[in-house]
Amino acid sequence: MAENFEKAIREICEQNANDHTRMMDIVREVQQRFGQVSSEAMDVIADAVNSHRVEVESVVSFYSFLSEKQKGKFVIRLCNDVIDKMQGVDKVAQAFQEELGINFGESTADGKFTLEWTPCIGMCDQAPAALVNDKMITRLSSDSAREIVKTLLENEDENRLTHMIGDGNNANPLVNSMVNNNIREEGPVIFAELEAGKAIHKALAMSAVEVIRDVKTARLRGRGGAGFPTGMKWEFTRGADGDEKVVICNADEGEPGTFKDRVVLTEKPDLMFEGMTIAGYAIGAQTGVVYLRGEYAYLRSYLENILAERRNANLLGNNILGKEGFNFDIRIQMGAGAYICGEETALISSCEGLRGDPKNRPPFPAQKGYLTLPTSVNNVETFCCVAQIVDKGAGWFAEMGSKGSSGTKLLSISGDCIRPGVYELPFGIVISDMLEKAGAVDAYAVQIGGPSGQLIGKADFNRTICYDDVATGGAVMIFNKDRNPLEIAHEFMEFFCEESCGYCTPCRAGNELIKERLEVIMRGEGTPEDLTYLEQLGNTVAVSSRCGLGQTSPNPVLTSLKNFRGEYEKLVKENKDGMQRTFDIHKALATGEELQGRKSVIYAD
């Protein structure tokens, strides 16, 4: 038995060439086969790939989808982001708990089920949603939750859970998912038709430098949120020392409220791969990697199949479309449940088989990225734009949008609106127009750019979506008057605390402290000084954090304090008697009273 176990683990390592940089693939496979990466497995893996046990443990303990402890045959991960909560996930959660007889974070005694919470899985427009192993289940109710448990008990097969099939390529046999695209508005860039290979053909007729020039002329900026000029990034990567270079596609969208890349991956993967290949040509790269978030594993075989088709059509591989010496191929790297891996240097760490810790900059990825090779990391949507720019011209692209932000932007809109889903809208659109399109008739607060963005109120609805005004990676969450901005901010702070990698002090400890004080205020125990405290603490975290996660993590509190200060002021009270308002004498005495078996006479009530 033990021998077989060791043999199986060694086989998995061998399939990955005993290469420690493929650690993610190894531990993912072990997790899938055995429901855990046990202590024994860690020893075997470390030995096989010539690493150290503690290094394997370090990786396994980092990612939510990996576990040293045994998980059930069916892992139910219920999404607990703010939108799911608004859509009644608590009732769904209760139904799962009752049916399974366990709490969240526990497994059933028979080893069949594990029940867990998970942050946003990219289904805010069809919430509440859950993952059952790799299977995506949307629009849950307490009834369907009970049905799921029943079906799994009867059939022991999560594939039997999908009754209704979603629209578009969700119905493709390789996807076979109940997910819906909910494409509400198709624009001229991402959703425009483009025959596979056409843009590559045009690119190959130009020099690499000319391709980069076109991308610069189009004034394309990164669509992931940071907005760095794509052409410049490519130019740096192309100009960096070294013959071997890498193109990475960031398909790790994990910002709560974002799901536009999921729709692109489902409906426009060819366009994305086309853009990546053009990037490979422009930069002089041979290797392409798509870092696909673990939650989207259900799209993997579908995407692999498209890659195979593209290889057959000589759109990937050697001497692409007859261009002597242009060799480029793409592999898919699966993530394993860590929001931080959407940060480009953390993503690179993860691709290298490490914990998803961000790296120190400099060196920038363009100089030394994946396995120290010059690397350009770009967003799913950015690559799609590139393919269309090459096909239809830089001028065509630059004419769309606003002055500093050319082209269109994909927005994932969810929350209190009639038409949640994906919208391709020109940059520069006024927020109130966007809300009208989505059917948000009574919007009170709008979170733009996800938790790391800003929570704005009516006073800002006349502003525009673009890099120079209200920037966003694509997430728009709408809240009506019944929602409490403090509760929204609290949800997001919980998210950041959960997802902080813990590398640097301000993000690791500071976010916990922000959350603590916010809770004090929400309990009605805060004083006006607590608002200043939060601003100063938030500023320290934002200024001194090492990467974008920590630099933006105080935003939920800082922007709600700015735009919804009245909501905070309603809850805080002047401290007139000089006593700490968080101090409760009865609570403080409780342990002592219990030990003594009698109540305090002085503090009787």
Q: Cα–Cα distance between 186 and 189 in angstroms, integer? A: 9
Starting at the edge strand that comes first in sequence, how are the strands of the sheet with 454-457 ordered? Answer: 183-185, 421-426, 408-415, 475-480, 443-448, 454-457
Nearer to other proteins, 244 or 512 (CB): 512
Q: For other proteins, what does the binding mask look like between residues 59 and 78, x meaning CB under 8 A?
A: --xx----------------
Minimum Å distance from CB 499 to other proteins? Answer: 7
Among 216, 508, 562, 581, binds other proteins (CB under 8 A): 508
Among the candidate windows 109-117, 328-336, 364-372, 491-499, which touches other proteins by CB under 8 A?
Answer: 491-499
Handedness of CA 356, 360, 361, 362 (dihedral sign): negative
Instruction: Assess 554 for contact with other proteins (CB under 8 A).
Output: no
User: Cα(315)–Cα(322) distance, rounded to whole angstroms?
Assistant: 10
> What are the residues whose beta carbons fall under 8 Å from the beta carbon of 124, sequence distance 6 or more?
81, 83, 84, 256, 257, 259, 412, 414, 415, 420, 477
* Shortest reach from residue 51's CB to other proteins, in Å: 9
Q: What is the DSSP letter of 507?
A: I
Stretch that binds other proteins, among 47-55, 119-127, 159-167, 277-285 (CB under 8 A): 47-55
Site string for other proteins, 2-41 (x = CB under 8 A): -------------------------------------x--
User: 421 - beta bridge partners?
Assistant: 413
Cβ atoms of residues 269 and 254 within 8 Å = no
Q: Which stretch binds other proteins (CB under 8 A): 146-154, 259-267, 291-299, 541-549?
A: 541-549
How near is the Cβ of 244 to other proteins at its closest, in Å?
24
Rounded CA separation 152/159 (Å): 9
Residue 53 found at the interface with other proteins (CB under 8 A): yes
Strand partners of residue 328: 317
Choose, by CB under 8 A, the member of 410, 446, 501, 558 that binds other proteins: 501
Tokens matching residue 382: 């950015």
Instruction: Pick out residues in 272-301 that bind other proteins (CB under 8 A).
Output: none
Our CB check for other proteins shows the closer of 363 and 439 to be 363
Distance between CA 308 and CA 312 in Å, rounded? Answer: 6
**Whole-number Å distance between alpha carbons of 151 and 132:** 12
Smaller CB distance to other proteins: residue 340 or 455? 340
495 binds other proteins (CB under 8 A): no
Contact 234, 389 (CB under 8 A): no
Measured from the CB atom, the residue of 53 and 216 that comes closer to other proteins is 53
Binding other proteins (rule: CB under 8 A), the pick from 298, 326, 479, 503 is 503
Dist CA 504 CA 148 (whole Å): 41
DSSP string, 459-495: GGTTSBBSTTSB--SSEEEEEETTS-HHHHHHHHHHH
Q: How much is the CA Rg of the chain, to the nearest whole Å?
A: 25
According to the binding rule CB under 8 A, does residue 480 interact with other proteins?
no
CA dist 388 and 198 (Å) reads 10
Longest distance between any two alpha carbons in the chain, whole Å: 92
Binder among 153, 400, 509, 522 for other proteins (CB under 8 A): 509
**Binding positions for other proteins, 180-219, rule CB under 8 A:** none
State yes or no: residue 588 binds other proteins (CB under 8 A).
no
What's phi and psi for 251, nearest 5 deg? -110, 45
DSSP line for 29-87: HHHHHHSS--HHHHHHHHHHTT--HHHHHHHHTT-TT--SSPPPSEEEEEE-SHHHHHT
**Which residues in the 398-417 window bind other proteins by CB under 8 A?**
none
Q: Measured from the CB atom, is 60 or 212 closer to other proteins? A: 60
Q: Exposed, middle or buried: residue 481 (CB in 10 Å: 0-12, 13-18, 19+)?
A: exposed
Q: Which stretch binds other proteins (CB under 8 A): 2-10, 243-251, 447-455, 493-501?
A: 493-501
Distance CA 138, CA 125 (A): 9
- Choose the binding region for other proteins from 126-134, 396-404, 501-509, 554-562 (rule: CB under 8 A): 501-509
With CB under 8 A as the contact rule, the residue among 472, 500, 527, 560 that binds other proteins is: 500
- Give the x/- contact pattern for other proteins in 521-540, rule: CB under 8 A: ------------x--xx--x
Among 182, 375, 447, 545, contact with other proteins (rule: CB under 8 A): 545
Q: Is 445 in the site for other proteins (CB under 8 A)?
A: no
Q: Which stretch binds other proteins (CB under 8 A): 142-150, 160-168, 372-380, 495-503?
A: 495-503
H helices of 190-259, where? 198-204, 208-217, 230-239
Size of the site for other proteins (CB under 8 A): 40
Q: Which is nearer to other proteins, 44 or 178 (CB)?
A: 44
Nearest distance in Å: CB 494, other proteins: 11
Taking residues 333 to 372 in sequence order and writing x for each that binds other proteins by CB under 8 A, - otherwise, the string is: -----x-x--------------x----x-x----------
Residues that bind other proteins (CB under 8 A): 39, 42-43, 52-55, 57-58, 61-62, 338, 340, 355, 360, 362, 497-506, 508-510, 512-513, 516, 533, 536-537, 540, 543-546
